[in-house]
Amino acid sequence: LAAKLVDSLSSSKVLVVGAGGIGCELLKNLVLTGFKNIEVIDLDTIDVSNLNRQFLFQKKHVGKSKAQVAKESALQFCPSANIVAYHDSIMNPDYNVEFFRKFMLVMNALDNRAARNHVNRMCLAADIPLIESGTAGYLGQVTVIKKGMTECYECQPKPAQKTFPGCTIRNTPSEPIHCIVWAKYLFNQLFGEEDADQEVSPDTADPEAAWNPEETATRATASEKDGDIKRISTKEWARSTGYDPVKLFNKLFKDDIMYLLTMDKLWKKRKAPTPLDWQQLENTFSSTFLPTAGSGLKDQQVLGLWGYCELFQHSVETLRSQLQEKGEGAELVWDKDDPPAMDFVTAAANLRMHIFSMKMKSRFDVKSMAGNIIPAIATTNAVIAGLIVLEGLKILSGELESCRTIFLNKCPNLRKKLLVPCVLDPPSANCYVCASKPEVTVKVNVHKTMVLSLQDRILKERFGMVAPDVQIEDGKGTILISSEEGETEDNNSKFLSDFGIRNGSRLQADDFLQDYTLLINILHTEELERDVEFEVVGEAPDKAPPPQTNQEEVNSITNGNKDSAQPSTSSKAPEEDDDIMIVDSDEEEGVSSSSAAAVSSTTKRKHSDAETGETSTKRPRMEQSSAAASPNDDDDDDIIALD
Q: Which residues are catalytic?
A: 167
| DSSP 8-class letter at 267 | G
Is position 19 annotated in a ligand binding site? Answer: yes
Is position 116 annotated in a ligand binding site? Answer: yes
What does the alpha-carbon distance between residue 176 and residue 499 come to, in Å, rounded to a whole number? Answer: 45
H or E element in which residue 261 lies: helix 256-261
Is position 114 annotated in a ligand binding site? Answer: yes
Is position 596 annotated in a ligand binding site? Answer: no
Is position 52 annotated in a ligand binding site? Answer: yes
**Taking a C-beta distance cutoff of 8 angstroms, is the pair 351, 308 a contact?**
yes
CA neighbor of 159 nearest in space, from 643, 611, 637? 611
Is position 296 annotated in a ligand binding site? Answer: no
CA neighbor of 112 nearest in space, from 637, 613, 640? 613
What does the alpha-carbon distance between residue 410 and residue 423 come to, in Å, rounded to a whole number? Answer: 21
Is position 152 annotated in a ligand binding site? Answer: yes
Is position 584 annotated in a ligand binding site? Answer: no
**Taking a C-beta distance cutoff of 8 angstroms, is the pair 520, 533 a contact?**
no
What does the alpha-carbon distance between residue 364 and residue 579 come to, in Å, rounded to a whole number? Answer: 18
C-alpha pair distances (Å), 170 with each of 188, 207, 219, 585: 15, 13, 19, 17
Is position 372 annotated in a ligand binding site? Answer: no
Which residues are CB-neighbours of 447 under 8 A, at least 6 positions away? 495, 496, 497, 526
What does the alpha-carbon distance between residue 266 and residue 276 come to, in Å, rounded to a whole number? Answer: 19
Give burial (CB, 10 Å; 0-12/13-18/19+) of 54: buried
Is position 125 annotated in a ligand binding site? Answer: no
CA neighbor of 449 nearest in space, from 393, 352, 525, 380? 525
CA 455-121-384 angle, 5° bins: 120
Is position 50 annotated in a ligand binding site? Answer: yes
Is position 21 annotated in a ligand binding site? Answer: yes
Is position 177 annotated in a ligand binding site? Answer: no
**Taking a C-beta distance cutoff of 8 angstroms, is the pair 278, 249 a contact?**
yes
Is position 431 annotated in a ligand binding site? Answer: yes
What does the alpha-carbon distance between residue 99 and residue 114 come to, in Å, rounded to a whole number? Answer: 19
Is position 111 annotated in a ligand binding site? Answer: yes
Is position 212 annotated in a ligand binding site? Answer: no
What does the alpha-carbon distance between residue 556 and residue 612 come to, in Å, rounded to a whole number? Answer: 7
| DSSP 8-class letter at 550 | S
Is position 51 annotated in a ligand binding site? Answer: yes
Give the neighbor-by-neighbor strand order of the sheet with 506-511.
479-481, 469-472, 506-511, 516-524, 439-444, 534-536
What does the alpha-carbon distance between residue 332 and residue 186 come to, in Å, rounded to a whole number? Answer: 12
Is position 555 annotated in a ligand binding site? Answer: no
Feature table: binding site for ATP: 18-23, 42, 50-53, 66, 89-90, 111-116
Q: Binding site for Zn(2+), residues?
A: 152, 155, 431, 434
- Residues annotated within the binding site are 18-23, 42, 50-53, 66, 89-90, 111-116, 152, 155, 431, 434
